[in-house]
Structures are given as structure tokens and as C-alpha cells.
Structure 1
Amino acid sequence: MYYGPATWANDGSWGYRTPVYLLNRLIRLQAVVEVVSNHTSDALELLAKQHSQMRAFVYQNQLALDYLLAEEGGVCGRFNESECCIEIDDYGETIKGLAQEIKKVAHVPVQKWNSILQGRKIL
């Protein structure tokens, strides 16, 4: 439920009142942060997937080039490179795990404004 900026939430337990407008702004900020975090997490997952696919593609190309240039010692022999080792670390699963953690941290369950003395009578 949305309240206007002139509305006050009465807590009653400590004698203060909080402008509902500020509470609405905090709830809106929380929602925006959650949406941005979810989009960031989705983007990271897509990048991790793309990285894993590119890694496999690079290895396949290296094998094909080594096969085609086998008479000359493969790619390394053709270009006279002594240290010719392709090693591409696959951090795809790690990135996906971090993306899932971002989603968990960003999600905040619905909160309700309740007084401490709700349902109690003050004598």
C-alpha cells in the first residue's frame, strides 16, 4: 500500500512517528538494488557461459592447427617458439557461483511495519 508524503506511521512504542514517505523511498531503493543485482548476476552468468565456449573453441583450433602443421612441428615449430603452451583457466563455474550468491544476498523478503506493542494494551 502506498501512502502520501504527508502521512505518518505511528509506532506508538517510543513516541515517535516516521514519515511514511521515507519508508516508501527505502522500499523503492531496496527494490531497485535487488533488480540491478539480479541483472548483474544474469550478465555474469552469460559471460561465464561465453567464456567456457570460447575456451573450448580455442582448444579445438589449436588442435586443428597442430594437426595441419604436424610436419613442421605444429604451431610452435612453425613459428619457432620454445614455450608454446596454451593454458586457459576455466573460471566459469566460479563466476556462476558468485552470480548465484549475488542473487541470494540481493533478495530481501517483504517487510511489514509493525509496532512493538501491537496487540497489547497500555495502562
Structure 2
Amino acid sequence: MDGRKFNGGHSTKGYAGRKPKADEDRIRTLSINSLESIFGSEEKAFEHIATKAKDSFPHLKLLLEYAYGKPKESVELETPIEQPLFTDTPFPLERLSSETLTELISVYKEMGIDSPIK
């Protein structure tokens, strides 16, 4: 045994991914049966939606999506303006305290680099 049995598994515990085809078919059958029991047929249900669509945009949208398919969704991404990582302007060393400057100089010395701080 290599120990993989006790590694915890997936956090979704079998609920990830697409629903089984049997579940989809069962839900579709229930939907069609409820439409037929309330409106008499699927056609009458769509006719009811069409009459509501005259005064209601959501009904119109639903009807058009069933008739012609849902339009492709597009996402416009704004690309940020690139900023240079290092600018040509020098760092304002006068803003640093004398302790910070001393510490920076010692770090440069430890690294064996000539300190740009004078």
C-alpha cells in the first residue's frame, strides 16, 4: 500500500462536474409534464409566454433565446497602462532616516556591492 488511500481526496466529494444524464432527463421530463398539466401542451405554454412578451421584456428575452439561441457573451478587458518598474528619477534618499540609511549601507557592504548611497 502506497498511502494514497488516506490523502484526503477531493473537497467536492463527488459533487463536481456535470450532472448525470439520468438526472438531466428526469428534470426535463418533470418540466415538460408540469407545462402540459398547467397549459395543456408545450405549444400553449410558449403561446402564453409570447402573449406576456408583448408587455414584458424578460418574457420576450426568454422567448427569443429559445427561438434563436442565446447570444454569445463577450467580455471587454481593459489593459492597464504599463508602468516602468524603475524610473529615471532617483529615489528621494532625503526622506529616509539616518538609521535606515546606515542599515542600507551595511547591507550593501555585506553583499559586496558598492553602495549607491554616499
Larger proportion of strand: 1
Q: TM-score range by the shorter chain?
A: under 0.3
Larger proportion of helix: 1
Q: Which has the higher contact order (CA 8 A, sep 6+)?
A: 1
Give the structure-1-normalised TM-score.
0.19
